[in-house]
Amino acid sequence: MTVPVPLSILLDLDGVLWRADDPISGAADALARLVAAGHRVAYFTNNSYPRVADNVAKLRGMGVVTTAELVLSSAQAAAMLGTPGERALVVGGPGIVESLEARGLVALACDGPGESAGFDLVVVGIDPAFDYRRLARAMAAVCGGARLVGTNSDATYPTPAGELPGGGSILAAVAVASRADPVVAGKPEEPAAELVRHRLGRVDLMIGDRISTDGAFARRLDAAFGLVWSGVTPADHGPIDPAPDHEAADLAHLVDDLLGRWF
Ligand SMILES: [Mg+2]
């Protein structure tokens, strides 16, 4: 058979490499084996909360060597929907503020009551301190004319103790309150795909735990989809669309399969 080396492989983080702060067993070693086999490995997370350096440090802390250029996020995709010089109100974490500022926008954290006039966009991601006052201010800014941008539409976020509300749940609250139709930036949407094409070029295989984002994103990138059951999709899932090209209990088993098949 033709050995497809080197492959460009894009991996989701939550539910694939870790659940919240707990590394998933065998993931770091599996990545090392992919790199040793000559493949290029990069990452795209829909979690917009951490800064790029936080994600890089977390990867290095579990033994994964990478660089900031290879760690992409929905916060960076959302920033591409802004224009340098615009003012953004941020319901979310420091990763969004960092990405907007890197693109030349003026970003203000929505950390309580305050001004709501004069914003060009409201960017919403996961925000563990989200409350009624933040919702009210974001609603006022959108009703005042700001565009509503969501970093992602994931309803939930996997943790070792089970799922918690994700950025999509917070976005839904702001959208309903302000009666606005949000533009979503992260996987599987086009701004995320544009970011990947610009930064990484071609992707051959997208590995993730969520069918509605990672699977659909694989299709948008014209890449194969590798599904792992270590996150939000259980092993006993029914028929799914898009059907994965590869699936396994976790990244370690998926990589065992892939390397066994290719070599
Ligand atoms: Mg995930």
Please identify, among 184, 203, 229, the residue that sits at the C-terminal boundary of a domain.
184
Of 226, 247, 243, which Cα lies nearest the Cα of 235?
Answer: 247
The total of structural domains in the chain comes to: 2
Query: Do 102 and 201 have their domain in common?
Result: no
The answer to whether residue 87 is domain-embedded is yes
| Distance, CA of 157 to CA of 100 (rounded, Å) | 23
Tell if the pTM clears 0.75, that is, is over it: yes
Query: Do 226 and 246 have their domain in common?
Result: yes
Instruction: Catalytic residue, from 14, 127, 154, 209: name it.
Output: 14
Task: Determine the distance separating the centroid of ligand 1 and the alpha carbon of 119, expressed in angstroms.
Answer: 31
Query: Do 53 and 88 have their domain in common?
Result: no
The answer to whether residue 2 is domain-embedded is no
- Tell me what pLDDT residue 20 has: 87
Site of tokens 């939550």 = 14
Query: Do 68 and 128 have their domain in common?
Result: no
| Distance, CA of 263 to CA of 14 (rounded, Å) | 29
> CB 12: neighbour CB atoms within 10 A?
25
HSE-CB at 53 with a 13 A cutoff on CA atoms is: 2
Query: Do 66 and 80 have their domain in common?
Result: no
- Tell me what pLDDT residue 1 has: 42
Task: Determine the distance separating the centroid of ligand 1 and the alpha carbon of 209, expressed in angstroms.
Answer: 5
- Tell me what pLDDT residue 261 has: 73
CATH number of the domain bearing residue 177: 3.40.50.1000
The answer to whether residue 3 is domain-embedded is no
Query: Do 69 and 196 have their domain in common?
Result: yes
Please identify, among 184, 199, 225, the residue that sits at the C-terminal boundary of a domain.
184
- Tell me what pLDDT residue 159 has: 84
Residues, CB within 5 angstroms of ligand 1 (ion): 12, 14-15, 209-210, 231
Instruction: Catalytic residue, from 12, 127, 154, 209: name it.
Output: 12
- Tell me what pLDDT residue 4 has: 56
Could you tell me the mean pLDDT of each successive run of 10 residues in the chain, 263 residues long?
74 95 96 95 97 97 95 98 98 98 97 91 97 96 98 89 93 98 98 98 97 96 97 85 93 94 63
Task: Determine the distance separating the centroid of ligand 1 and the alpha carbon of 37, expressed in angstroms.
Answer: 24
* DSSP string covering 149-192: EES---SEEEETTEEEE-HHHHHHHHHHHHT--PEE-STTSHHH
Query: Do 178 and 111 have their domain in common?
Result: yes
Q: Does the annotation mark 127 as catalytic?
A: no
The answer to whether residue 80 is domain-embedded is yes
Query: Do 65 and 95 have their domain in common?
Result: no
Task: Determine the distance separating the centroid of ligand 1 and the alpha carbon of 232, expressed in angstroms.
Answer: 7
Task: Determine the distance separating the centroid of ligand 1 and the alpha carbon of 138, expressed in angstroms.
Answer: 27
The answer to whether residue 235 is domain-embedded is yes
Task: Determine the distance separating the centroid of ligand 1 and the alpha carbon of 12, expressed in angstroms.
Answer: 5
Q: Name the CA radius of gyration of the chain, rounded.
A: 18
Please identify, among 184, 204, 228, the residue that sits at the C-terminal boundary of a domain.
184
154: containing domain: 76-184
Query: Do 37 and 62 have their domain in common?
Result: yes
Of 183, 247, 173, which Cα lies nearest the Cα of 210?
Answer: 247
Query: Do 176 and 120 have their domain in common?
Result: yes
Query: Do 95 and 173 have their domain in common?
Result: yes
Q: Does the annotation mark 111 as catalytic?
A: no
